Amino acid sequence: MYYQLYELNHAMMAPWRAVADQMRLAYTNPLNPLSHTCFGRTMAAGLEVLERATRRYGKPAFGLNETVVDGQTVSVHEKIVWQRPFCNLVHFERCLPSGHRKDPKILMVAPMSGHYATLLRGTVETLLPNAEIYITDWIDARMVPLSDGSFDLDDFIDYVIEMLHALGPDTHVIAVCQPSVPVLAAVAVMEEDGDAFAPASMTLMGGPIDTRVNPTAVNRLAEERPIDWFRDNVIMPVPWPQPGFMRMVYPGFLQLSGFMSMNLDRHLVAHREFYDHLVKNDGDAAEKHRDFYDEYLAVMDMTAEFYLQTVETVFIQHALPKGEMMHRNRRVDTAAIRNVALLTVEGENDDISGVGQTKAAQTICPNIPDARRMHYMQPDVGHYGVFNGSRFRREIAPRILSFIEANGRAKNVAPRVIKGGKSAGK
């Protein structure tokens, strides 16, 4: 009944939240003399913290309406080019200037691990001036009716293969965090089948390829408990009146609780500082807090079958690095990958996918030529710094673009070496 109680709590808090928001507006209205006093700012700050703490955060927008190509600002339009019940493939279509060269085509596979694909907004924004970007926009499981069927790890792999077929040859795939495993499995299946639509390259970023290497708190939690514990304690039916009523899911609010508990003191300090910034009328710092938590607190449900199969396959059995992972009753053979170039990227301070877990892909794909593989470890960044932030823009993104440029189907040259950080051929 936890999910129902959670929904009931939100419903009960709705009128109080509305009152708090109205009072906040009154205390911030410049026509109110109290708004210019410390008392008024203190009241407004407390009311905003209360309203935000009890709010349900919906899916954020990508909001990428323009980018710069060849020194010119061009408009960008989101276009759905492929659809399934649990995913839309979104193309960020650029209005390119005449005479612009053909840019590489990138399928960016966003994580299905609680947050929406908009978590990769900064990743897309950084790569967009130099590539045609397509991203997997996963659908909140509680919004998918039971009549649309189930979705598990095997379906995830099938979706990736179907999307690569839809995009055509010479596509490059980037997997961020959780999808590193199903993307690697999909590429292995395609290579073994001699599929002409296998990607030209795959980039795996902060992914749990082998969680036996430098296990983190997330990895240890999965190993310490049997799969039945997860089935009994975190799987719940979607309550009425959601479209996915009675679908068994791993709820987003439970995932968020897990995320925040890992660094609870940091989140408490951040909210206290947010309150102080509001009282001091420090608008810039307060707005940065709002932007971050509007994204961070927006979570989605995952189907029970996908979550349980992922936990068992990736974190308990370690099936992929052991060569035991199955897809539709066939073994996933990563040694079959010979033609797809491989780039692995890690963060030195990653506390979700430990250092070496993603690099393990280099070991289990022994038949990729050395000239078409590369590993890079970015110093001084955690998990989110692997795909977002200033170091990503300055250090990681140029390496990804250089690797992709060097490993298009029409090319067969070693990637350009960029100084800085820690990179290696394997």
**Cβ 180 vs Cβ 208: under 8 Å:** yes
Cβ atoms 200, 340 nearer than 8 A:
yes
Packing angle, helices 264-279 and 283-296, rounded to 10:
140
Distance CA 98, CA 113 (A): 40
Element (H, E) at 400: helix 397-406
Give the integer Cα–Cα distance in Å for 170 and 265. Answer: 46
Question: How much is the mean pLDDT over the chain?
Answer: 89
Residue 215: closest CA among 67, 85, 318, 366: 318
Mean pLDDT of 7-20: 84
Question: Which comes out higher in pLDDT, residue 295 or 161?
Answer: 161
Distances (CA, A) of 309 to 121, 197, 335, 384: 28, 27, 23, 25
- 203-221 pLDDT tens trace: 999 999 999 998 887 788 7
What pLDDT, on the 0 to 100 scale, is given for residue 16?
Answer: 87
Close Cβ partners of 322 (under 8 Å, ≥ 6 residues apart): none
Q: Are 281 and 226 in contact (CB under 8 A)?
A: no
Distance CA 205, CA 210 (A): 13
Chain segment 127-142, per-residue pLDDT in tens: 999 999 999 999 999 9
Q: Which two tokens stand for residue 217?
A: 């708190």
So what's the pLDDT on residue 2?
80
Task: Give the best-scoring range by mean pLDDT among 13-17, 115-119, 319-323, 382-386.
Answer: 319-323
* pLDDT band at residue 408 under the 50/70/90 scheme: confident
pLDDT at residue 156 above 90?
yes
273-289 pLDDT, tens digit per residue, is: 888 888 888 888 888 88
Task: Answer with the residue of higher pLDDT: 341 or 253.
Answer: 341
- 369 CB neighbour count, 10 Å cutoff: 12
* 410: confidence class by pLDDT, cuts 50, 70, 90: low
Return the C-alpha torsion angle 200, 134, 94, 83, nearest 10.
Answer: 130
How many CB atoms sit inside 10 A of residue 215's CB? 17
Convert the pLDDT of each residue in 174-191 to its tens digit: 999 999 999 999 999 999
| Range 30-43 average pLDDT | 89
